[in-house]
Amino acid sequence: MSSNGAEAAAAAMMPHVGMNLEHKGKTWTIIKTLATGPFSEVFEAIDTETKQHYAMKTEKEVGTIRPVLKLDVFVLKVIQSRGITVGFPKIYDAGRTNNFKYVVMQLVGPDLGKLRRSLPGKKFSLITALRLCAQTLDRVETLHDMGWLCRDIKAPNFAIGLGDQAGIVYMLDFGFARRFLDNNGVHVRPRAAAAILGTIHYAPIASHYGRDQSRRDDLESWFYMCLELVAGSLPWSHLDCRRQHQLICEWKQFARKGGRHQMLKDCPLEFDEILKMIDGLRYYERPNYRLISSQIEKVIDRLKLDRYAPFDWQVDNGQILEKAAFIGDLGESHLLSMKLNEARKKRAADKESTAIDITT
């Protein structure tokens, strides 16, 4: 067989749209690619017997730069074993072939990053942003109380539910997670050095300097994410993660001094107090999540916002959700209109073909 033929045969064995995967008496059919990343791929799959739709996350057996799926599954199973059913996707199946590992889990909607970029001005309304801040803080607290750090908190790692669960935020992707409590519930000591993990724009200052992370650092990343949800962007969003990571670190440090107003100028004044709380935490200290959450509630009360108002994606007849389903991980605005038009034409064609199929 030629080298091209061998490559084609190998590619055919990897997960792809149209593939059927049999495991433990079930058959899953992959029907759509949802996300492609450096460590794994996510597909939409259907149970051929029940016709229910699920998410299928896969990872190559060989050649993966950093295997993360096993850890991702382990953390979710720990959470699931504790009876926690809200805010974390449920796992239904997991297995491996000779070529890849996979996990079948609850299908959720678009992530918060795609939702934000699908809005006019790429910015949530304030009440939607604040409620997202509160829910994501709850998820981080739950993870921490299980004894785990995330170390990669960012908007793309949180997604909304589907249908009547569109108001529930789910926490995703635990491939960079690390257990910080030992079997006796004692906080492990920090290592002398640690690699920079996660996404540089949201990474805590400690990570920039190669220091081990703690709950405090997860909350620092959470705070940067919240700034982006509320203001629409971070002051350093335009900087390149690979070439300007040191400058991004300097910006974060500057924001604790003369640049504090510039970082917080588009946020409620209570965010200054939240940052003080986070920065004041010690390495081993458990954050007072309720006190931080109370600052978010304080904003809602002070500005007389309706905490029960629908989320931004629940008031536009599904247009934001439709756009978010097609927007790329980095926006891909030049392709978005084309993808939306193609999807709308297909739906119109399907309706037309259904309409003329008349039974007399």
Q: What is the structure's pLDDT at 198?
A: 81
Asked whether residue 166 falls in the same domain as residue 96, the answer is no
> Is there a single domain that holds both residue 132 and residue 247?
yes
Amino acid letter for position 266: D
Q: Which of 114, 84, 137, 109 is nearest to 324 (CA)?
A: 114
Same domain, 275 and 208: yes
CB burial of 235-244 (b: ≥16 within 10 Å; e: otherwise) equals bbeebeeeee
The total number of structural domains in the chain stands at: 2
Residue at 276 is within a domain? yes
| Among 101-105, 185-189, 347-351, the least confident range | 347-351
Q: Which of 72, 111, 152, 217 is catalytic?
A: 152
Task: Report yes or no on 313 lying in a domain.
Answer: no
The pLDDT tens digits for 34-63 are 988 777 899 999 999 999 999 999 998 887
Please indicate, yes or no, whether residues 238 and 284 belong to a single structural domain of this protein: yes
Q: How far apart are CA 337 and CA 358, in angstroms?
A: 33
87 and 220 in a common domain: no
Q: Is a pLDDT exceeding 70 seen at residue 329?
A: no
User: DSSP character for 83?
Assistant: T
Whole-number Cα distances in Å, 330 to 72, 185, 212, 335: 23, 39, 29, 11
342 pLDDT band, cuts 50/70/90, is low
Question: What does the block give as tokens for 302?
Answer: 């002070």
Whether 9 is in a domain gets the answer: no
Residues 146 and 189 reside in one and the same domain: yes
Average pLDDT over residues 8-32: 83
pLDDT single digits (tens) 112-156: 999 999 998 899 999 999 999 999 999 999 999 999 999 999 999
* Within-domain flag for 7: no
Q: Where are the alpha helices (DSSP H) in 107-241?
A: 112-117, 126-145, 205-208, 215-231
Does the global pTM surpass 0.75? Answer: yes
CATH number, domain with residue 293:
1.10.510.10
Residue 95 has a CB neighbour count (10 Å cut-off) of 15
Query: DSSP string of 71-82?
Result: HHHHHHHHHHHT
State the Cα angle at 313 between 334 and 274, rounded to 5°: 100
Of residues 345 and 89, more confidently modeled? 89
- Alpha-carbon distance values, 183 to 6, 179, 317 (Å): 47, 10, 49
Take residue 311 and report the two structure tokens written for it. Answer: 């989320």
Structure tokens at 72: 């991702």
Query: Long-range contacts made by residues 219-222, C-beta under 8 angstroms, separation at least 24?
Result: 219/140, 219/278, 219/281, 219/287, 219/292, 220/278, 220/279, 221/150, 221/152, 221/153, 221/154, 222/136, 222/137, 222/140, 222/153
Separation of alpha carbons 35 and 280, rounded Å = 37
Residues 192 and 224 in one domain: yes
The DSSP line for 1-52 is --HHHHHHHHHHTS--TT-EEEETTEEEEEEEEEEE-SS-EEEEEEETTT--
Average pLDDT over all residues of the chain = 88
- 188 pLDDT above the threshold of 70: yes
Domain membership flag for residue 77? yes
> 211 lies in which domain range?
110-303
pLDDT at 354 over 50: no
Q: In this structure, what CATH number is given to the domain that contains residue 40?
A: 3.30.200.20
Neighbours of 273 (CB within 10 A): 14
Residue 218 annotated among the catalytic residues of the structure? no
